[in-house]
Chains A and B, each alone.
Chain A
């Protein structure tokens, strides 16, 4: 039955998340950005509430919540500050791999399972046709693989204790590798200034790094399925965070324009302003609903869950750029300066969309699936 009514439990979780977003996360946003790390007290509080382990399975002491519940909580948390949420320690995107882990991978992940404070980065180098893909290659050896080169910037790279690599080897066979020895890689922090500065974005550098067979979590068709499943969940969760950022920008802009006066009246009374705010509200609602639908589809393990996830992330990217840009525009000069939060939100939004899939690529892949079917259509 068509319904937009969250469960009682979801309402409770979300309300706690909203409270911490407003009272703890938002006020710490600029300090975290300047220091490029998050205050330990905030991390403790968020961890204590279980918000760092929503996606993890119960056998990993996680809450193992359905995606539809998680997306509501992640949106609420991200309405505090996306930069902080993206820099929180833990397994991050890798949690979605753990959630759907195949049997043979369990023993290999044991160490991370018992290391409650570990942080993992996810390195996705499956698309060998992507620009700069040849800067990091995975070569096959009889006894394992060798990684050589430098990755593109990835989130949590600077804080990572572990790295999960989704790749294709020289023969194009999908593999999932688990790097649990930090000596294997070096982090190049580079010169990141745009946004998500507290999220540990960096490049991972490998110098003929050997990855033994015991670190191969999956290969071939199993790896391909695992990556596709995890990627679906990652897309939905990342899109949900973008919805949270949109909600923050919408609410802040509404409040600001309701008070700010020009030409003798509140600027909200000018239709150029109020109509733009209405469009922000519509875009935010659309992105939210597409995320909800994708989450429900993924929870039900629908065959086309990946398609819905792709669609949700594409729209979230497009909408978050529009809504955060509109926020800066509506605040005028104030929007451009750092005394107000909106310029940071616009920067964070742009950085987020760059880290998680190019919009046109998502649209293209989705379109190919429509036109020639999921199997023949190119995968990311």
Chain B
């Protein structure tokens, strides 16, 4: 049955994460942006509270408590609901929360049981730890199939050489999922995914970049110089690549990851847009006259913004719902990401327009505006999302665009 009401669990998660965002994240948002880092003691504190950023699942995996009735899986829906709230608090801090982060989904979906245990069980409350996901290279951004980092097979493992850029939490991560090719001439089918652990000889993070926004969140450059990675860190193990024959398994791991992370990224963009909208609405209600040209402009801009946010949320919920049902969701994941990323920047710009010159001085909306731009770029640019959407749209007609 078509329904837009939240289940009890969904409501609970939403309320809990909103409370956390409002009381723990938002109060330090501007300070963290200024410091260009999230305070270490704050990270220690939230880690002890068990608050993690895990984009691969958010519980709700389906088994009823009595073990008899299988409940509907709702982890993806819980994930987008929770992430919207967290990003509403502050996106840079949300992305800096300890946990597997964007590295979680590939390990969860493609790792062997032993790898899942080894890499996902480290996120405990004794100290903050992070996972990361490294696909982008200087010459391979949107074209993820053009990865040039090499993985040479040697006795007992692989030797990695190459460079990765724009890696969220890349320098602090305990491990990084790294995509490399065993043979560039094989294109996508030559790709493999490895889990490279911090401290591995030949693996370094020489540079943390400075950005327009998301300044409190670490974005690193990673370098692999004759970095030996043991065979047991090949994600999914050799067997996965052997059974898939010539199919592009490593590339598929990367793409499959996007199907679950794009709705999460879309949800974050929605949270940012909502934060800007709610902040501005409050100011407009207090400072604007209730008649005349300014009022008229505000009604239209706020109505449009509110509606665009709702539209993006529904697209995102659909993508997450499909994932929970085990339905193919690549098109929906791309659609929600394409729309939400673009919409969120537009909403933030509208809010800045409503604030006028006052918005330049000490208001969070300008920070949100700087933060949100990248949501139309990372995890696949707006253009890539349109390409994915178009490919799925034309697939029934046998045309590959």
Contacts and interface: CB of A to CB of B under 8 A. Distances in A.
Given A266-B399, A292-B2, A371-B298, A1 B303 contact: no
Contacts of A278: 335, 338, 386-387, 389-390, 393
B298 A282 contact: no
Interface string A284-303: 01100110110010000000
A371 B10 contact: no
Contacts of B302: 367, 370-371
Contacts of A370: 281, 299, 302-303, 306
Contacts of A6: 1-2
Given A286-B314, A368-B299, A3 B339 contact: no
A1 B401 contact: no
B131 to A, nearest CB: 28
Nearest to B325: A5
Contacts of B4: 2, 292-293, 296
B393 A277 contact: yes
Contacts of A5: 1-2, 325
A188 to B, nearest CB: 34
B333 to A, nearest CB: 12
A312 B325 CA distance: 27
Interface string B1-40: 1111111001000000000000000000000000000000
Contacts of A289: 311, 314-315, 318
B12 to A, nearest CB: 13
B285 A371 contact: yes
Q: Could you say which interface size class chain B belongs to?
A: 35 or more
Given A2-B317, A4-B318, A363-B303, A281 B335 contact: yes
Contacts of B393: 254, 274, 277-278, 281
Given A254-B393, A368-B299, A3 B314 contact: no
A311 interface: yes
A281 B386 CA distance: 10
Contacts of A293: 4, 310, 314
Contacts of B322: 4
B2 A367 contact: no
Contact of A254 (B299, B304, B394): B394
Given A1-B7, A2-B10, A275 B303 contact: no
A311 B307 contact: yes
Contacts of A281: 335, 389, 393
A133 B191 CA distance: 68
B72 interface: yes
A262 interface: no
B279 interface: no
A286 B390 CA distance: 16
B42 interface: no
Nearest to B295: A371
6 shortest interchain CB distances as A-B pairs = A367-B299, A367-B303, A258-B397, A274-B390, A289-B314, A278-B389
16 contacts: A2-B10, A4-B322, A68-B2, A266-B399, A269-B401, A271-B390, A277-B390, A282-B389, A289-B314, A290-B307, A311-B303, A311-B306, A364-B300, A366-B299, A371-B295, A371-B298
